[in-house]
Every structure is written in structure tokens, then in C-alpha cells.
Amino acid sequence: MINIAITDDKKHLRNTLQEKLSEAGKYQVLFTAENGKDFLEKMMEARKSVCPDVVLMDIDMPVMDGVEAVLHGKMRYPQTRFLMLTIFDEEEKIFNAIKAGASGYLLKDEPIEQIKKAIAQLINNEGAPMSPSIARRALNLLMNATIDLKNGLPKQNVDDFKLSIREKEVLTFLVEGLEYKEIGQQMSVSPNTIRNHIANIYRKLHVTSKAQAIRVFGGDK
């Protein structure tokens, strides 16, 4: 069984996700939470028995949003993966979630099978799942990120993230909506190699130039 937690401020969405995952038989929803603060409190209880393997986390919530919840949750429970599941594909929210420690980023309108597939990818360490439109935004971040000149910092471009030529190529195919297998066929490599490239891309987006990224996007929310 894969242990899941769901955090969303909309009760009907929490219930729908829980119902659909429970129907599959291989997922156990340990708890649901209505905001980040509620999630952290319930995690403290859950860890006494078993922690979630994957947390489906909304972003825009009252009391404590998803980005802050992931930031605290990842520090306290490093083995838990956080999959952002949100209506937002805004670049600022994407980058803030990534640098907070999110392992993947999907839009809520993705079919349940795609969400299950993303959970499996995280459990099997097969890269960082992203909706195609999210990958497109991530590429846009890389291509257009600039530093606020009033702080006296230089402009930043895609090379500052130190992506290899192959990683840039993989990201471009992701933007086009290709699956791992299809990207592998285009690049004449195995799907596992593509997963490794994607994991590296995501890691670099997460750890590179955090202080600069804060200035670029106006700070944490």
C-alpha cells in the first residue's frame, strides 16, 4: 500500500481525490487536511504510527499556504514526497514550490490516472512529474529569468542554471508534451535515462541561486 495525505482547502476536492484513490485499492489515504497548518498538525500525529509516502498539496490556502507547508514539511519529514496539485501554473508559484522542496507539480485538471502515474514515479524515484504546461513555464523561467537591477545584481540566463545540452533538450520535449518513452525514442536513449535527466533538471531548478530567485520573484509567499 502507498500511504497518501491530501491537503486542500476545498472539502469536495479532498473527498473526490480520496474516493478515487481508495477505489484503486493500492492507496491508503491516512488523512486529509484543509490547510498547511492543519497538515503539519496531523503529520505530527501520523508519524507516531506511519507517515505518508506522498502528500498531494494544494498551493493557495488560508492560514498557511502549500508552499510554506512543504518548506516546513520537507525539513521535518525528508523521506516524504510532496506533489503539488493546483490550479496555478504561474511561474512564481512554480518556482517557490520547487525551491521549497516539492517533488512534482501537476494541475488539478489532470485525469486521476495521470495523478496515480505521478505518484508511482515519485515512489519509484523515476524523476519529477510535471504537467506539460508546467514544464513550459519552467522552461520560460530558465529562458527569461532576470535579476532586479536596483539590487545591483547582474542579469541571469539559462546558462546560470548549468543545465547540460541534453537536459535542455529533454526540457524542450517535456514542453511539447512528450512522455518519457517518446522522449527516449527522439533522443535514442532509454526511458530510465530520460528520468535521470528530468530528476537532474528538477534538482538544479531547486538548488541553484536560491537567493537570486527570491529577488527575481519577489520573495517567498
**Which range of residues forms the domain containing residue 169?**
136-217
Mind listing the pLDDT tens digit for each residue in 92-116?
777 788 778 888 888 888 899 999 9
Shared-domain flag, residues 116 and 149? no
Q: How far apart are CA 75 and CA 29, in angstroms?
A: 22
Q: Write out pLDDT tens, residues 134-162.
A: 777 666 665 555 433 333 333 444 455 67
In sequence order, what are the beta bridge partners of 56? Answer: 6, 83
Q: Tell me, yes or no, whether 6 and 22 share the same domain.
A: yes
| 61, three cell numbers | 490556502
pLDDT at 215: 33
User: Which residues pair with residue 7 across a beta bridge?
Assistant: 33, 57
Do 25 and 111 belong to one domain? yes
Based on the fold, state whether residues 121 and 164 are members of the same structural domain.
no
Given 129, 146, 171, the domain boundary residue is 129
pLDDT at 175: 66
**Separation of alpha carbons 40 and 73, rounded Å:** 7
| Statement to judge: residues 51 and 72 lie in one domain | yes
Residues 52 and 146 placed together within one structural domain of the fold? no
**Of 114, 122, 125, 106, nearest in space to 52 by CA:** 122
Cβ atoms < 10 Å from Cβ of 172 = 15
Closest CA to 84 of 95, 75, 97, 74: 97
Task: Collect the ranges in the chain with pLDDT lower than 70.
Answer: 89, 91, 137-161, 175, 177, 202-221
Q: Does the pTM of the predicted model rise above 0.85?
A: no
Do 89 and 113 fall into the same domain? yes
Query: Does residue 152 sit in helix, strand or coil?
Result: coil
- Of the three residues 67, 99, 129, the one that is the final residue of a domain is 129
Q: Look at the chain and report how many structural domains it folds into.
A: 2
Whether residues 31 and 106 share a domain: the answer is: yes
122, 158: one domain = no
Decide: residue 106, CB within 10 A, 0-12 exposed, 13-18 middle, 19+ buried: buried
Domain end among 98, 129, 160: 129
**23 shares a domain with 103:** yes
Structure confidence at residue 159 (pLDDT): 54
